[in-house]
Amino acid sequence: MLPFLPRRDEYDVVIVGSGAGGGMAAYELTKAGASVCLLEAGIPWDNTRDSSMLVWPWETDRRGGSTKERPFGEHDACIGGWNIEGEPFTTAPGTRFNWWRARMVGGRTNHWGRISLRFGPDDFQRKSIDGLGDNWPITYDEIKPWYDEVDRLIGIFGSNEGLHNHPDGIFLPPPTPRCWEHVVKRAADRQGVTCIPSRLSIITRPHNGRPGCHYCGQCNRGCAVNANFSSTNVLIAPALRTGKLTLVTGAMAREVTTGTDGLAKSVVYIDTATGEEREVSGRVIVLAASACESARILLNSSSSRHPDGLANSSGVVGKYLTDTTGTDVGGFIPALVDQPRHNCDGVGGAHLYMPWWLDNTKLDFPRGYHIEIWGGMGMPGAGFMGGIQNYGQGGGYGAALKEQYRHYYGTTIGFSGRGEMIPNEKSYCELDPKTVDRYGIPVLRFHWEWTDHEYLQVKHMQETFRSLLAEMGAEVRSTMPTKEQGYGIATGGAIIHELGCVRMGNDPKTSALNANCAAWDCKNLFVADGGPFVSQADKNPTWTILALSMRTSRHIVAERKAGRL
């Protein structure tokens, strides 16, 4: 259980947001002896106490179905969603964009898939390779030691494969592929698609005082024994045990104030329980509220010194917003009908995945994607199997209906593509000039546009998935989406990997932050979430958020020791 400590008037550091970046900053800074106040807009939540990891779906009236505050199911560990009552966002005419927000301690790390991929050497220098987007101000070699430290601290399973742009790590042993995953592996091998063990932050052996996974397959519910990674108990709980961390929940940050010296002075927030305005002061301010939320706070922190918002003399705050591209295809595999019953729970995610395997110079789109796989005999619940009527002669009543479910149980296999979007000037967020949330804070208005780079990439995903399914002898009931349908590309924001908006760089005229994620305009203000990202990459971003936050936190410690902060 997370303890709560009394508040004080001023802290060495104030952090906004308790997810991956904020949790890592709290862990590192308290370990170094700093007094830290961590502000979280959501409610207290502790996976060791609040998880419904071992609740059977039929034990509740909803049978695991979704609720307003849990769109992915009533047992899902993340409280929040794309639509939160009293916290709207708006979209510009013609824009389709969804913005996910978590409202709990630990943020999105409570329900994510734990896919923990390092960005590769090419991902930091893409402009030098294909002329598109911008290079990062750091290289893979500079961030590699931080990835290594994150691996050692948190724990991750995987296999060392020697793939150039999919760097190996310090891995725990991966779990054995399940029956249905062997079917996928055989098809991938025949098609020449690289298929290797997944890289997930779920520990398969005891690690740093945490027990290894017991393979119940319910990671999305929150792990009651801490065998998977969430910020709550892997980072924030140890920080609280130092006695240096004060955790404040129900704290909706509105703005960062500055003093006459131009330095960040405090964070003003609204107490969500009372509606009262409060202020907490810090010698250093770290924003880790998520890429878009941190941009919103900065844009709302306008003053006579910073008329366009804090850290925004370059005008790039809110700009170059990206999300992962995505599309899905699944099919019915006749060979898997009437499988012998066996335990294929495993970890809460696939045991295999497919990193990008092709050369983009030989294709009609410039950036790649990875493939996530799904299938097997997962936990039955509301919406189970998508409706028995979709399977052969499935249907009926009573005993016959139950037998049909048993007959077709575990016969679906599917693929989800997760690809790189190239930042563009037409995808960004700004303050809506008319709309405020329930706390009186101006909300974000989103502008969004995919380009042919992304559409053609997703077309390739669809074609690849259908080819793999055909290799398995699958029946695919969906038709290939047309160009007019965007080839089935997911709506912006739907994959929940928003990055950019507070980008780092080497030039204060074209970036908001320097290479240490400190604001050019305000040296004691840092950003430690997905905001500093210069590009998206074809990898999930959490491991890079953690590595950057650790690196930034150590920089803060060094600067304070040197008397420069």
- Structure confidence by residue, pLDDT tens digits, 330-377: 999 999 999 888 888 899 999 999 999 999 999 999 999 999 999 999
pLDDT at residue 446 tops 70: yes
What was the pLDDT predicted at 4?
A: 46
Between the two ends of the chain, the Cα-to-Cα distance in Å is: 33
pLDDT (0 to 100) of residue 69: 82
Please tell me the distance from the alpha carbon of residue 319 to that of residue 101, in angstroms, as a whole number: 19
Q: Which residue has the tokens 């020697």?
A: 162
Q: Are 281 and 14 in contact (CB under 8 A)?
A: yes
Taking the C-alpha atoms of residue 458 and residue 481, their distance in angstroms, rounded to an integer, is: 10
Grade residue 296 by pLDDT with cuts at 50, 70 and 90.
very high
Q: How far apart are CA 432 and CA 300, in angstroms?
A: 11
Which of 279, 298, 346, 319 shows the shortest CA–CA distance to 427? 319
Q: State the sign of the Cα–Cα–Cα–Cα dihedral 100, 104, 105, 106.
A: negative
Cβ contacts of 93 within 8 Å, gap of 6 or more: none
Q: Give 395-417 pLDDT, tens digit per residue.
A: 788 998 888 888 999 999 999 99
Token digits for 48? 């060791």
Q: Which of 161-175, 218-232, 435-449 has the lowest mean pLDDT?
A: 218-232
Print the SS3 string covering 44-108.
Answer: CCCHHHHCCCCCCHHHCCCCCCCCCCCCCCCCCCCCEECCECCECCEECCCCCECCCEECECCHH
Residue 447 β-bridge partners: 428
| Contact (CB, 8 A) for 151 and 552 | no
Phi-psi region of 552 (alpha: psi -120 to 50; beta: other; left: phi over 0): alpha
Closest alpha carbon to 125 in 106, 103, 143: 143
What is the predicted pLDDT for the residue at 3?
44
Q: How many of the other CB atoms lie within 10 Å of CB of 563?
A: 6
With b meaning 16 or more CB within 10 Å and e meaning fewer, what string describes 395-428?
A: eeeeeeeeebeebbbbbbbbbbbbbbbbbbeebb
How does the average pLDDT of the chain come out, rounded?
Answer: 95
Q: Would you say how long the chain is, in residues?
A: 565
Q: Taking 90 as the threshold, does the pLDDT of residue 386 lie above it? A: no
CA distance linking residue 399 with residue 404, whole number of Å? 9
Structure tokens at 243: 């006695």
- Measure the CA dihedral 295/298/299/305, to 10°: -150
**Least confident stretch, 4-18, 49-63, 243-257:** 4-18
pLDDT tier for residue 383 given thresholds of 50, 70 and 90? confident
What number of other Cβ atoms are within 10 A of residue 150's Cβ? Answer: 30
Could you tell me the two tokens for 197? 């063990």
Q: Residue 56: which residues within 8 A CB-CB, separation 6 or more?
A: none
Q: Furthest-apart CA pair in the chain: how many Å?
A: 76
Dist. CA 329–CA 313, nearest whole Å: 44
Cα 502 to Cα 522: distance, rounded to the nearest angstrom: 13
Beta bridge partners of 416: 328, 372
The answer to whether 375 and 180 have CB atoms below 8 angstroms apart is yes
Q: How confident is the model at residue 8 (pLDDT cuts 50, 70, 90)?
A: low
Confidence of residue 7 (pLDDT cuts 50, 70, 90): low
Contact indicator for 41, 103 with CB cutoff of 8 Å? yes
75 vs 53: CA distance, rounded Å: 8
Are 145 and 257 in contact by the 8 Å Cβ rule? The answer is no
Q: What is the mean pLDDT of residues 35-62?
A: 92
Question: Would you state the pLDDT for residue 396?
Answer: 80
pLDDT recorded at residue 71: 84
pLDDT of amino acid 391? 83
Note the pLDDT of residue 536. 94
Residues 463-477: what's their mean pLDDT? 97
Are 119 and 126 within 8 A, CB to CB? Answer: no
Three-class DSSP category at 464 = helix
| Helical segments of 272-364, H only | 291-299
| Mean pLDDT of the region 459-474 | 98
pLDDT over threshold 60, residue 527: yes
Distance CA 249, CA 272 (A): 9
Task: Give the pLDDT confidence of 107-164 residue by residue, as tens digits.
Answer: 999 988 999 999 999 999 999 999 999 999 999 999 999 999 999 999 999 999 999 9
* pLDDT > 70: percent of the chain: 99
Rounded Cα distance between 453 and 106, Å, is 34
pLDDT at 520: 98
Q: Please state whether beta strands 196-197 and 352-354 pair in parallel, antiparallel, or not at all (unpaired).
A: antiparallel
Token output for 137: 């101000």
How far apart CA 183 and CA 332 sit, in angstroms, is 13
- Give CA–CA dist 435/458, Å, rounded: 34
* 497 pLDDT tier (thresholds 50, 70, 90): very high
